[in-house]
Amino acid sequence: MPKKKSETEPYIKTVLEQCTEEVLSAAETQNTQNNEMYIRLAKAAESDGSMSDIEYQIKAQSASLSRSVINLQTAAAKVSVMTDEMRARLHDVNARQKRRFLKNTVISNTQIDYEEERQDYFAKGNNIYKLILVLIISSFVGVIVETGWCFLKHGYIESRVGLVYGPFNLVYGLGGLVLTAMLYRFRNHGSWLSFLGGLVVGSGIEYLCSFVQEKVFGSTSWDYSSMPLNINGRICLLYSVFWGLLGAWWIKRIYPFIAKQLLKIPNNIGRIVTIALAVFLILDAGISGAAVYRWSERTKGIAAHNSIERVLDARFTDRRMKWIFPNLVFSENEHAE
């Protein structure tokens, strides 16, 4: 004999459930009133009198019921979101409590939110300090991971940086920043939302970076033209799915780990360090862009026109640039000009 629901799982009647029961009862009452109105409508149709009164009442009640439907749909959507969040928060906390190796290294987003609020942390929530630090860390870790992958796959170490100074690549940094900014709202919801968000956001980042690099510098660093279901060779379905998986993994696993480590930075120096690193990266990106531009000009035989360009040519020679950016290829139309 199957057990009753109350014997197999906890049962609590929320205020919302009580309200919905009252709504169901009200719907039955409304249906009874409607039937009475339909009788009046039928009688009015058989008589020779005016139907203006019954017509007005039916139209008014029909409009009221339509508004009720909108309210109920809005409420249902909100309750669905709350239900998903509640289940996701419990799942995330339990997943880390049950795995001691995770418990000691990563905490759930629920715990991160609590700690940031309790400490009144300078990089709290999704603010500018948090996003800058995520960008810097992602730029660094992305280079380390891709360099290691290159060594494991090909057996040699090759530069994977995106800037002329330091082990940073702003493509990874921008990816981490945008994923955090866009998926932060889904951090305490089901992973499927993070997957969809990561797929859309990541693909958009990849397409935009490819487009800007080609239009501004006349070069490309990747080409998916040979991959199925690609768009202009800039993105393809396979890597878009990878972006989706990364999005879910990022906001559920990587972001909480990063946020936990950031909590160790004292409030009194956190802002200063963050601003200093941001200024350094801005200058590094500006110099890197100028150096790549001059490299592009040199491939077309264009000589330096001023002292700044001559300094760039002297410090960032073709040999050095090729070592820093081994996979950067200038488009053929740039050479032909």
Q: Cα(142)–Cα(23) distance, rounded to whole angstroms?
A: 53
Residue 186 carries which DSSP code? Answer: G
Which pLDDT does position 102 carry in this prediction? 54
> What pLDDT is recorded for position 155?
84
| Amino acid type, 211 | F
Q: CA geometry: angle at 215 spanning 209 and 220, to 5°?
A: 60
Measure the CA–CA gap between 25 and 8, rounded to whole angstroms. Answer: 28
CA distance 220 to 330: 6
**107 φ, ψ (degrees, to nearest 5):** -115, 165
Question: Three-state SS for 20?
Answer: helix
Residue indicated by tokens 């630090």? 133
Burial of residue 183, with CB atoms counted within 10 A of its CB: 0-12 exposed, 13-18 middle, 19 or more buried:
buried
Instruction: Give the number of C-alpha atoms closer than 13 A to the C-alpha of residue 169, restricted to the C-beta side.
Output: 18
- For the record, the structure tokens of 316 come out as 């960032």
Q: What is the pLDDT of residue 209?
A: 81
Q: Is 75 exposed, middle or buried (0-12, 13-18, 19+ CB in 10 A)?
A: middle
Query: What is the per-residue pLDDT for 100?
Result: 59
Give me the average pLDDT of each 10-residue run along the chain (337 residues).
55 89 94 91 82 88 94 94 90 76 71 91 92 94 87 83 92 87 91 89 84 77 83 86 89 90 90 95 94 89 90 92 85 49
Q: Among residues 116, 167, 182, which one has the least CA distance to residue 281?
A: 167
